[in-house]
Structure 1
């Protein structure tokens, strides 16, 4: 089946996570994504590693985010290389970059100059905090943006300090925003033949992630999140029973539900909580009562009981348990990439399913400049 973005050419000047993750999404949907990399060192993300894991001289993270792409090595400070890149821009559909404000202007590759080369280009930019203003030159890094945006005060309990997510969640969310913006601009271009400047920032993405709770804050007297005293409470803004509870053998998560019915199912006396207003006002007391009761239950047995009575619950699983579960196996999310060495890298597949088909490719992340010759032949040999 033909992929929806086949025939589109994306030049990826982006490094690290947000921009390249958007590029991965576009590549999975069929676009030809060409990384423009420095001849020496390439994308700085090649050296950003989790657990110091490297594969074939680049980090495992780099391989995860840059599979199914090509690499064109060019020194943008070299006039001859820059001229080649400009010729590539003439043939491209999309450009992405996450350079600090002013860098592309110095190179003559800012949006206004690129439009002179290609008046139909979709020019997509990721910044940390926008291109103007007092924070525009601050480093746009996931942990830092989590920290300044209030996000770290949503997880954990009242006795904890600020707690960051255990994922580069802002980068990934921003990558989704960038992908959406690019696709919207491509649709508009198909109708108007006009170029577009797409701009997203990590800060905006971090705020958009919090739109529900920020709206609550802004319309409820600007009261900061009130995290629970009870460890395992899952949400600063939601009523009991929302949270995670320890059992005799494991842990169980319980989402929203009628407290009166839940207490009755667990044979707990709770007449004083018949008014639903108490479910948030007395959240910590209710969570404590539930926790003490659930501590005597087996997780699987309790999950079955709650499901039978219409409560949303799930036994907590670690990666080992989850990856061996029927639910994960049914998802068929594992994907296998053939590395240059002949070894196989196991990762996750694209999530897009169109007309009942997933878009899969076993093409590995490129070596620096690996595709210079083929790209030169395809686009520059005239």
Structure 2
């Protein structure tokens, strides 16, 4: 195992997690970079979040719906749980020996500064690799390190707008509709994690580290790989359906429909078979070769029919016939469903009277849920401990 800063031993009765013994320096903030570091922490790595002394990660103050947990936003704790905080001014020459000592002992470095910033700080890949040839250097940018867009702000909504994602959702007469989640940030973090793990595997074989770069632009394009490939190969520019649009290329009935008491989602299925099951003769006799060309007309007929029955009534018929359909839930309903409860997808972080609930890692190792009850760190709370370790190692 690589020499690095000390970490706690694995819990009794458990095999070590895959990244036990590895140290990650997280210089990033907000979502994309920190989400990568979070996954590495879930997998057993020690993650030291290097933050500016004045305010730290800007995500500390990004309180969604006004929710805060202790000294920082709930969002900060969600994406930075199970990390340590080391406050350091990267522009202070007096702090540089500490940062270089951390780098020399680390296994992974993550940053999401704009192109050129790390180089100006003396922490570009070449400088870091000279200090530690075995390090895995991981960077997230908005639009890559080259090209005319390199200095644009990399922000999730802007990328959804630029790359066409916002023109895939909603019906034809609606304005461009972005996903209401930071899907580009999270996708970029996931891709960066894959790159880090791949380089760690290669390092185990060759002994050499390496550099992995992911841009929000590339992640946004990759999210659209199916419809974008259709477009690139002569499928035409995507056009949203006018009725119950859910996919720009898939034929009816794919979409979400009103019922008498809620909504129901219909996936891929033969329209004539759907008509037989729900008792609609017009659908049952619709020509198979017209399903895509008359998508909106078919969906309008489905919508007219489904509103006459309840969600549970339609689900009973469709599921018995082996057709893919599902109920449409909000979060209060979701968390009460037995399937969600069985998934054990929620955990509590904190202790005593200061606790909050959040999601758990989606990864299981050896059948074990990866839970970490430690919330995000207070700014600089690890300085004393980490400085003492560095002093000891220097002796």
Q: Which residue does the alignment assign to 1:165?
A: 179
Q: Which residue does the alignment assign to 2:30?
A: 16
Asked if 1:138 corresponds to 2:149, the answer is no
Q: Which residue does the alignment assign to 1:346?
A: 357
**Match for 2:262 among 228, 233, 250?**
250
Contact 1:27 1:33 survives alignment (8 Å): yes
Q: Which runs of 5+ in 2 are unaligned?
A: 1-13
**CA–CA distance in 1 between the matches of 2:295 and 2:169?**
16
TM-score by length of 2: 0.94
**Match for 2:116 among 69, 91, 102?**
102
Give how far 1:57 is off.
2.5
Asked if 1:328 corresponds to 2:334, the answer is no
Give how far 1:275 is off.
4.0
Query: Counterparts in 2 of 1:79-228, with a 5 A limit?
Result: 79-220=93-234, 223-228=236-241
Q: Which residue does the alignment assign to 2:5?
A: none
Contact 1:157 1:229 survives alignment (8 Å): yes
Aligned length: 379
Describe the SS at the equivalent of 2:199.
helix
Q: Deviations over 1:30-58 (max 9, x none)?
A: 00000001111001111122122222221
Give how far 1:278 is off.
1.3
**CA–CA distance in 1 between the matches of 2:281 and 2:157?**
44
Contact 1:29 1:359 survives alignment (8 Å): yes
Give how far 1:377 is off.
2.2
Q: Which residue does the alignment assign to 2:373?
A: 362
**Match for 1:283 among 279, 290, 295?**
295
Give how far 1:101 is off.
1.1
Q: Which residue does the alignment assign to 1:229?
A: 242
**CA–CA distance in 2 between the matches of 1:123 and 1:198?**
6
Q: Relative to structure 2, which stretch is displaced further, 144-153 or 77-86?
A: 77-86
**CA–CA distance in 2 between the matches of 1:358 and 1:315?**
27
Q: Quick one: structure 1 residues 133 and 380, their matched pair in 2 at CA, closer, same or farther if it must change by over 3 Å?
A: farther
Query: Counterparts in 2 of 1:234-313, with a 5 A limit?
Result: 234-270=246-282, 274-313=286-325
**CA–CA distance in 2 between the matches of 1:92 and 1:205?**
27
Contact 1:84 1:380 survives alignment (8 Å): no
Contact 1:3 1:359 survives alignment (8 Å): no
Asked if 1:35 corresponds to 2:35, the answer is no
Give how far 1:303 is off.
0.5
**CA–CA distance in 2 between the matches of 1:152 and 1:87?**
45
Contact 1:273 1:279 survives alignment (8 Å): no
Give how far 1:273 is off.
5.5
Q: Which runs of 5+ in 1 are unaligned?
A: none
Q: Deviations over 1:329-356 (max 9, x none)?
A: 11111101015x7411100111111211
**CA–CA distance in 2 between the matches of 1:79 and 1:316?**
56
Describe the SS at the equivalent of 2:94.
helix
Contact 2:271 2:283 survives alignment (8 Å): no
Give how far 1:202 is off.
0.3
Q: Which residue does the alignment assign to 2:4?
A: none
**CA–CA distance in 2 between the matches of 1:227 and 1:292?**
20
Contact 2:20 2:44 survives alignment (8 Å): yes
